[in-house]
Structure 1
C-alpha cells in the first residue's frame, strides 16, 4: 500500500505544477507529461497487486486514494524554477531506483511476472533520472555550478514526514536505504554524473 500511495501521489505533484507549464521549457513540459504517464502506470500496477493479492476491494481502494491531498508547504523554494525541479526529480528518481533495487518483497509472490514488472518499474525510474540529467546538461549547463547548493537544500528534507507530494516518500515500510545511502551520498553521485562529458 505504501508503494501504491506514493506512486499515486504523482497526481498531486503534477496538478501542483500544471498551472506553471507556460513558465517551463517545452523540453521540461514533455518530461513532466512522460513522467506522469509512467507514474500513473506504476500506480495502476500497484493497485492491481493490492486488489489481486491482498483482496482489497476496488471501490475501497479508489475511495482511499481520492481522499489524498498533497501538502507542498515548505517546498516553495525547491519548486520555484525548472532548474531546481530537474534536480529534485533527478534526486528523487535516483533514490527510488536505489531503494527498489534493494526491495525483495515482490520476489516472494512466486511468479516471474512480478519480478519482471518491478524490474520494468525500476527501468522507468532510471530513465526519468537520465532524462532529467540530459535536460540539465543540455539546456541548463550555465547553472550547473549551482547544483550542489540546490541538491543540499533538497537533501535537507530527508527525514521529514511524508506529505502526499510524491516527493520524499522515504518513511514507508519498503524504503530500505540507510541514512548514509541518501542525502550526501546521492548528491555526490549526481554531481559526478553531471560533471561527465
Structure 2
C-alpha cells in the first residue's frame, strides 16, 4: 500500500512563548484581524464535518484512501488548534467562545453531491482543493508578517507545506488505485471550476471555500494544470513498495 506522507510539527511549539499583551491594537485593527482569520479557522474546522459526511455516505473504499483521510483529518485539527491560538493572541478571541461559535454552524453538502458519488471523484476534488488552498495561503504572507512576530510566518510556512502534502497524498491515491481513470480527472476538474464560477457561496463543506481574493481564475487554472500533470506520473518503485519518506 502506498502510505501518506506525514509532517511532524506543533502550533503550540510555535506560539506558547507569545501572549496577547504583545499584540494589542486599536479596536478597528483587532476587528480586521478577526474578520480575516475567522473564515480561515472555520473552513479548517469544517474538515471534521466533511469526514463525517464521507462516513455517512460510505465513500471510503480503499486502504490508501482510508490512510489518507485519517492523516488529513489529524492535520486539519492541528490547523484548527493553531488558528484558535492565533485568534486568541491577535484578534481578541477566546478558545471557549470560538469553539462554541464553530459548533453552532450549519453544514450542507448538497452543492458538492456531484463529487461525492464515489471515492475517485472525491479524491480528485480533494487533490485540487488542497492545491488551491496551498497557493492561496502562500498569497497571505504580507498579512501574517504584519501581525508582529516572525512566528506567524513560520506558522504559515508549515500550513502551506501541509496543504501541499495533502494534495500530493491525494494524487498518490489516484496514481496507486485509479490509474485506469486518470483520463477522467480533467473532466472532473472542469466541472469543479465551472461550479465555482456559477456559485461562490460556502456551505460548511471544507472544500471549495474560494471566497478570498487570492482565488483568481489564473490560480484555479494553474492548480488544474498541476493536478493533471501530477496524476499522469507513473508510480516509482519506491512508491509502489510504500517507501514514502517522512519529511522534516
The answer, yes or no, to whether TM exceeds 0.5 is yes
Distance 1:22 1:96 in 2: 23
Q: CA deviation at 1:68?
A: 1.4
For residues 58-114 of structure 1, what are the alpha-carbon distances to aligned partners after superposition, in whole Å with 9 as ceiling and x for unaligned? 322111100112111132221111111110011100001111111121111222211
Counterpart of 1:124 (choices 159, 162, 169) is: 162
Structural mapping, 1:83-122, within 5 Å: 83-104=120-141, 105-122=143-160
Larger radius of gyration: 2
- Structure 1 window deviating more from structure 2 (25-34 vs 49-58): it is 49-58
Q: CA deviation at 1:148?
A: 1.0
Structural mapping, 1:19-38, within 5 Å: 19-21=56-58, 23-38=60-75
State yes or no: 1:163 paired with 2:200. no
Paired position in structure 1 for 2:174: 136
State yes or no: 1:194 paired with 2:234. no
For residues 15-74 of structure 1, what are the alpha-carbon distances to aligned partners after superposition, in whole Å with 9 as ceiling and x for unaligned? 111234575111101111110000011011001111121121332211110011211113
State yes or no: 1:46 paired with 2:86. no
Which secondary structure state, in structure 2, belongs to the residue aligned with residue 158 of structure 1?
Answer: helix
Distance 1:17 1:23 in 2: 7
Q: What TM-score results when the alignment is normalised by the length of structure 2?
A: 0.74
Distance 1:169 1:195 in 2: 26
Q: CA RMSD in A?
A: 1.6
**Structure 2: runs of 5+ lacking an equivalent:** 1-37, 235-248
8 Å contact from structure 1 (residues 137, 194) kept in 2: yes
8 Å contact from structure 1 (residues 93, 126) kept in 2: yes
What count of residue pairs does the alignment treat as equivalent?
194
Paired position in structure 2 for 1:180: 218
**Structure 1: runs of 5+ lacking an equivalent:** none
